[in-house]
Amino acid sequence: MFGSRRAFSFIRLGALFEWNGSVVHPFGCRQISQLGNGRGKRAFLVDTLALVIAAIWELVAGWIFTFFKENFEDTTLVKSLEAEGMPSKQAEAVTTALTHVLNDTLENLAQSLVSKPELQKASMLQESNLSKFKVEVQGSQEHHFSLLQRETEKLRNDIDKMRTDVRHEMDKITAGHRLDLNLERGRIRDELAEQGAETTNLTNKLDREIHALRAHLEAAKYDVIKYCIGTVVSISAVGLAIIRIVL
């Protein structure tokens, strides 16, 4: 009876393990990605870590299963205990107790494991979440890239507009300065022309006054010469008259 019950526990445990290379997920827990709304950014990383731990758990549990399946037999244990000097009834009682403990342990271990279809379903869900995450990351990158491209284009347009405005203002200022310079140049030219005309008028006036003064000097010179001649003639006449009187 003990051997059949223990064999049933081994068979149940072996069926749950499915010793064909499948991964076992311990404790019968849902994956982290199943707890969220499918939009988590790090859930698939936690699931991957859980699957790695499950694989390690599979190796340990498989070793325990193989060890007890190959070594733990009623007759073998009873004979070993009897060989150590234990009475037959006590050996059977110890074997029975160990069998109960082993069965409870194996049943608890079997309840904490999942089957291969559930594991495949979890793996498919894992891949689906990973694909969704990749799609979301790609969409987010494309969205941010398009936003950056639009912002860059807007900034380029603003720079071009600012450059056009600056060029227009510079042209306006240059045109204003050129106009002011031309006006100032024209005003200076007019002032120089007026000053030249005034200088010419003054020169002509001085020339006329010099000519007039020269004419007056010539006339005065003739008058002086005439008066001198008249004076000399008068003195000569007076001298002749005096000489005649004296003689």
Does the residue 159 lie in any domain? no
Q: What is the pLDDT of residue 163?
A: 92
Does the residue 181 lie in any domain? no
The number of CA neighbours under 13 Å toward the Cβ of 231 is 6
Task: Considering only the C-alpha atoms of the chain, give the largest distance between any 2 of them, rounded to a whole number of Å.
Answer: 221
pLDDT digits (tens, 9 = 90+) for 169-209: 999 888 888 888 899 988 999 999 999 899 999 999 999 99
Does the residue 167 lie in any domain? no
Q: What is the pLDDT of residue 1?
A: 41
Q: What is the pLDDT of residue 157?
A: 93
Does the residue 47 lie in any domain? yes
Q: What is the pLDDT of residue 45?
A: 58
Domain count, the chain: 1
Does the residue 177 lie in any domain? no
Q: Which domain holds residue 34?
A: 2-114
Does the residue 74 lie in any domain? yes
Segments of the chain with pLDDT less than 50: 1-41
Does the residue 45 lie in any domain? yes
Q: What is the pLDDT of residue 75?
A: 66
Does the residue 188 lie in any domain? no
Q: What is the pLDDT of residue 236?
A: 85
CA dihedral for 149, 155, 157, 163, sign (positive or negative): negative
The number of CA neighbours under 13 Å toward the Cβ of 211 is 6
Burial degree of 98 (CB within 10 A; 0-12, 13-18, 19+):
middle
